[in-house]
Amino acid sequence: MPPIIQIQDLHKSFGDNAVLKGINLDIEEGTTLVVLGGSGSGKTVLMKHMIGLLKPDRGRVLVEGQDIVPLDGEELARVRKKFGMVFQAAALFDSMTVYENVAFPLREHAKLKESEIREKVKEKLAIVGLRNVESKYPADLSGGMRKRVGLARAIILDPKIVLYDEPTTGLDPITTDYVDEMILDAKRELGVTSVVISHDIASAFKVADRIAFLSQGHIVEQGPPEQLRRSEEPAVKAFLSTWFGKQ
Amino acid sequence: MATDAEKSPEAAPDEPNTFVEGVENVGRGVINSISSFGGMATLAWEILRWSVRPPYRLQNLFAQLDFVGVGSIFIVCLTGTFTGMVFAQQSSRAFELFGAESLVGPTVALTITRELAPVFTALMVTMRAGSAMCTELGTMRVTEQVDALETMAVSPVQYLLVPRVLAGLIMVPMLTMLFDTSGMVGGFFVSVTLKGMSAGTWLARTQTWLDPEDIFEGLIKAAVFGFAVSLISCYRGFNASGGAKGVGKATTEAMVGSALAIFILDYFVGVILH
Ligand SMILES: Nc1ncnc2c1ncn2[C@@H]1O[C@H](COP(=O)(O)OP(=O)(O)OP(=O)(O)O)[C@@H](O)[C@H]1O
Ligand SMILES: [Mg+2]
């Protein structure tokens, strides 16, 4: 089976700031890829290309074999229904309650009765460890709670592919562990493909089947976690030594 | 916008190139307005296309109709009444000189229905609803809520912009009728109660002079203004970038652009209708 997401020779600049300079990356169905890299290395930009929020200057992005770069409107929307995305800053709709936020994709894309919607929302909020927040507005939540509401919203339609932009940054260690388990469960039980951007090396090594390391606009190393750990690439070594050095 | 061309005083002394810079600034301003005009035209077309496509989100539309329309009733009535009163006051002083006080009613009625009601109503809606539309959309843009909508396979144009622009298009004419009514009530009150004119004459004269076409012309203008100001406010907010500061800048541009659009369109719609 071909990889579910294939990125080929992807280039992207903002003005004269060349962020991605020829990215090649394959993501196999039902696996978890973690993208590591320093702050500002272009991880978020790379992820936004996978779901068509940004258009590359050059290169292709194939989702289940279909190049999504030239798509827009209806066709792009059809591809996007396969995805759930967790934004780095949650991006909750601040005019809606938590309940309405999580229910939003259901109301838009699934014909369900209100009681079924209520059931599902409750279930997903429980998965991310939230209770009794349904009637609150995002502004009344802590950053970590907002992030978890964003997680619940991303998985409410049980998408095939979930993109997590730093799902655990700002969460306490117990909740972090909880989210890691959730990503692993989704893979084991539902065969979900996950792409996770992370700064947390422990989480990364726990959930990843493969890790890709982004630096200076290139993927300088990619492979299973053990391979990364043995990497001779200076940027990777420096990044990992901050954590493994202490072990 | 025009202030771009003004030079700050400290740059003036030993700068031989102020003229060139001034020209450059004006040029940049012109290019900016042309490119945003193009952007707005494209957006208007998008909004038109999405407005006729299902799903029709009536709830969103009603929320905007309520916000733009119902929420503006009070200030529109207030400005309408006082505009009518001021106009009656001033014109009766002028007409007294010729002993033609009986023309006060028609003057008030014609000026209000054809000019003042649509222009003032659109200005009030711009200040109250346009600014809110722009900041709300701008905030949604810079906090990635617009991107989030897109990733959930929902068109932000359809979900966010269509109801707002439709609300402007529908509610500004409605509010203009309210302005017409309250303006004439204000004018009547000043003329009859304070200036002691005969109520019968005032009404009869007004009825003779005021044609349905005058009211209709005002309403056409109102619809054009309503569409334009909500489109401009939405466009500026939707394309905001650069955090809170960017949203502030977008809102300023939306307010200035909308006000200018009202006065410019007022002239051209008037010319086209005659
Ligand atoms: N919309 C945009 N317009 C202009 N520049 C952008 C835009 N989005 C990202 N950039 C630039 O691209 C670079 C990479 O940004 P990106 O958000 O992908 O970093 P990141 O790896 O996700 O960092 P972090 O770990 O801090 O989230 C930065 O230099 C940023 O300034
Ligand atoms: Mg990022």
pLDDT at position B30 is: 76
Count: domains in chain A: 1
Nearest-Cα distance to chain A for B148, in Å, is 6
Q: Which two tokens stand for residue B74?
A: 């009070």
Question: What is the best residue among A17, A45, A218 to mutate for testing ligand 1's pocket, by most ligand atoms within 8 Å of CB?
Answer: A45
pLDDT at position A143 is: 87
Q: Which two tokens stand for residue A5?
A: 């997401």
Residue with tokens 């084991």: A188
The residues, any chain, with a CB within 8 Å of residue A7's CB and separated by 6 or more, are: A23, A24, A25, A26, A46, A49, A50, A59, A60, A61, A62
Ligand minimally distant from the alpha carbon of residue A38: 1
Interface predicted TM-score (ipTM) over 0.90? yes
- Residue pLDDT, tens place only, B13-64: 555 677 888 888 888 877 777 788 899 999 999 999 999 988 899 999 999 9
Using CB atoms, pick whichever of B136, B145, B155 lies closest to residue A91: B145
Count CB atoms within 10 A of the CB of residue B205. Answer: 20
Report DSSP letters for A160-179, one per residue: SEEEEESSSTT--HHHHHHH
Which structural domain, as residue segments, surrounds residue B192?
54-273
Answer whether residue A40 shows pLDDT above 60.
yes
Q: Which two tokens stand for residue B259?
A: 């006000």
Nearest-Cα distance to chain A for B270, in Å, is 38
pLDDT at position A247 is: 52
Report DSSP letters for A26-37, one per residue: EE-TT-EEEEEE
Q: Could you tell me whether strands A210-215 and A218-223 are parallel, antiparallel, or unpaired per DSSP bridges? A: antiparallel
- A181 inside 8 A of chain B by CB: no
Is pLDDT larger for residue A33 or for residue A189?
Answer: A33
Residue ranges of the alpha helices (H) in A26-142?
43-50, 73-80, 98-109, 114-127
pLDDT at position A216 is: 93
Q: Which of B145, B35, B150, B169 is nearest to A68 (CA)?
A: B150
Q: Consecutive sets of 10 residues in chain B, 274 residues long: mean pLDDT of each?
A: 46 64 81 84 94 91 96 96 95 87 89 95 97 97 96 96 97 97 95 89 90 93 97 97 94 94 94 89
> Among all residues of chain A, which has the CA nearest to that of B54?
A108
Q: Chains A, B: CB contacts under 8 A, how many?
A: 45
Q: Provide the chain A residues 102-141 that lie in CB contact (below 8 A) with chain B.
A: 104-105, 108-109
pLDDT at position B6 is: 47
> Among all residues of chain B, which has the CA nearest to that of A163?
B151
Which structural domain, as residue segments, surrounds residue A222?
5-244
- Residue pLDDT, tens place only, A191-215: 999 999 998 888 999 999 999 999 9
Provide the residue type at B125 as one letter.
V
Query: With an 8 Å Cβ cutoff, are B145 and A92 in contact?
Result: yes
| Structure confidence at residue A246 as a pLDDT band (50, 70, 90) | low
| Structure confidence at residue A245 as a pLDDT band (50, 70, 90) | low
| Structure confidence at residue A108 as a pLDDT band (50, 70, 90) | very high
**Quick one: CA torsion of B31, B36, B37, B40, rounded to 10 degrees?**
170
CA torsion sign for B128, B131, B135, B140 is positive
Count CB atoms within 10 A of the CB of residue B242. Answer: 12
Provide the residue type at B107 as one letter.
T
The mean of the pLDDT values for chain A is 92
Residues of A in contact with B153 (CB under 8 A): 77-78, 80-81, 108-109
Using CB atoms, pick whichever of A80, A92, A93 lies closest to residue B151: A80
* High-pLDDT (> 70) share of chain A, %: 99
Give the integer Cα–Cα distance in Å for A45 and A108: 27
The pairs formed by A141-144 with CB atoms below 8 angstroms and a separation of 24 or more are A141/A98, A143/A90, A143/A170, A144/A170, A144/A171, A144/A172, A144/A175
Q: Which of A160, A134, A161 is nearest to A149 (CA)?
A: A134
Count: domains in chain B: 1
pLDDT at position B4 is: 46
Query: With an 8 Å Cβ cutoff, are B144 and A104 in contact?
Result: no
Q: Is residue B24 part of a domain?
A: no
| Structure confidence at residue A127 as a pLDDT band (50, 70, 90) | confident
pLDDT at position B5 is: 45
Give the integer Cα–Cα distance in Å for A104 and A126: 17
- A239 inside 8 A of chain B by CB: no
Query: With an 8 Å Cβ cutoff, are B153 and A53 in contact?
Result: no
Q: How far is CA A68 from the centre of its chain?
A: 18
Asked whether the bond before A138 is cis by omega within 30 degrees of 0, the reply is no
Instruction: Tell me the backbone φ, ψ of residue A11, rounded to 5 degrees.
Output: -120, 140
- Measured from the CB, is residue A247 less than 6 Å from ligand 1? no
Please state the pTM of the whole predicted model: 0.89
- A230 inside 8 A of chain B by CB: no
CB A93 within 8 A of CB A44: no
3-state secondary structure (DSSP) of residue A85? strand
Q: Which two tokens stand for residue A98?
A: 């938590």
CB B229 within 8 A of CB B125: yes
Is pLDDT larger for residue A12 or for residue B197?
Answer: A12
Q: Is residue B8 part of a domain?
A: no
Question: How many alpha carbons fall within 13 Å on the CB side of residue A96?
Answer: 18
* High-pLDDT (> 90) share of chain A, %: 73
Q: What region does A62 belong to: left with phi over 0, alpha with psi -120 to 50, or beta?
A: beta
